[in-house]
Amino acid sequence: MRLFGAFPLAYGTILNALYIPIFGMIFGLIFRAVAFEFREHSTNKVFWNVAFGVGSFMAALFQGFALGTILEGIKVDEAGHFIGGMWDWFDWRSLLVALTLIQGYVLIGSTYLILKTEGELQTSHYRTAKLAAWTTLLGAIFITIATPVVYENARAKLFHQPEVYLFALIPVLGVLLIWLLIQSLNRKAETTPLVWTVLLFLLTFVGLGLVVFPYIIPPSITIYQAAAAPSALVFMIIFIGFLIPIMLFYNIYNYIVFRGKVAGTHYGE
């Protein structure tokens, strides 16, 4: 809804282009939430564990397809309306982004669970985090290589002077963070793996933002063209600016209340 209020043109165009991935992601989120609730009252917890995993996988997979399609570009006419096909979002490039995003989510989830668990369960998350770190790195390398090769607009921006030096620094920092992450996992550290993973995600967001900017619908519609009226933007800034501290306080409070480690080492409990 925030996208609808601030960038209505982008909202309509992106929703038309990504109708299937967006609803697939929503279905996965709903399925995951339902599985979580039904598991609590069911005697067959294994079934609902699998259902929770399927819902989580669907949500991450379709979110990755949507991200990959936006990075690849959406076909629009001069007015900014979608003119592509129903399955434009499904190709090997968006699939690569989707699979890499899933591994990234596995990585951040595993490093968080390292912090929250102990014993046999923690050991399994160390193994999962190491595997996810390597697979995320491989996916990131393929995406970094494929982006300037496949996408002409991205290639022109990535190799433009003097931005090329900034874009060259981002992969170097990414490899450094991955190396620090793997070293901390080998040392069986509990806190630093999550720290390095969060920094890796933030670096990725910054890199994606720099590649796409100033377009909100690459490669045709900029944020300035898609923006709503200034009065609407001012209203949203005030409204969201009021809500953000409340949301931050609520989440920080939750982490304080549920601080500490989870007891138990059995997966089916």
The 3-state DSSP class for residue 267 equals coil
240 or 180: whose pLDDT is higher? 180
**Within-domain flag for 43:** yes
pLDDT of residue 80: 77
Q: Tell me the residue type at 210.
A: L
pLDDT category of residue 226 using cuts at 50, 70 and 90: confident
Q: Which of 17-21, 66-70, 180-184 has the highest mean pLDDT?
A: 180-184
**Within-domain flag for 79:** yes
pTM of the model: 0.82
- Supply 77's token pair: 């006419």
- Supply 83's token pair: 């003119």
Mean pLDDT, to the nearest integer, of 125-137? 92
Residue 49 is part of which domain span?
2-257
Tokens 């501290």, residue? 245
Question: Does the pLDDT at position 265 exceed 70?
Answer: no
Query: What is the C-alpha separation between 178 and 173, in angstroms, rounded?
Result: 9
**Within-domain flag for 262:** no
Q: Which of 9-13, 70-74, 78-82, 91-95 has the highest mean pLDDT?
A: 91-95
**Within-domain flag for 35:** yes
pLDDT of residue 264: 56
pLDDT of residue 1: 53
**Within-domain flag for 234:** yes
**Within-domain flag for 268:** no
Q: pLDDT tens, 22-60?
A: 999 999 999 888 998 888 888 888 888 899 999 999 999
DSSP 206: H
105 or 82: whose pLDDT is higher? 105
Do 57 and 31 touch, CB atoms closer than 8 A?
no
- Structural domain total, the chain: 1
- Supply 182's token pair: 């793997």
**Within-domain flag for 71:** yes
**Within-domain flag for 251:** yes
Query: What is the C-alpha separation between 162 and 178, in angstroms, rounded?
Result: 26
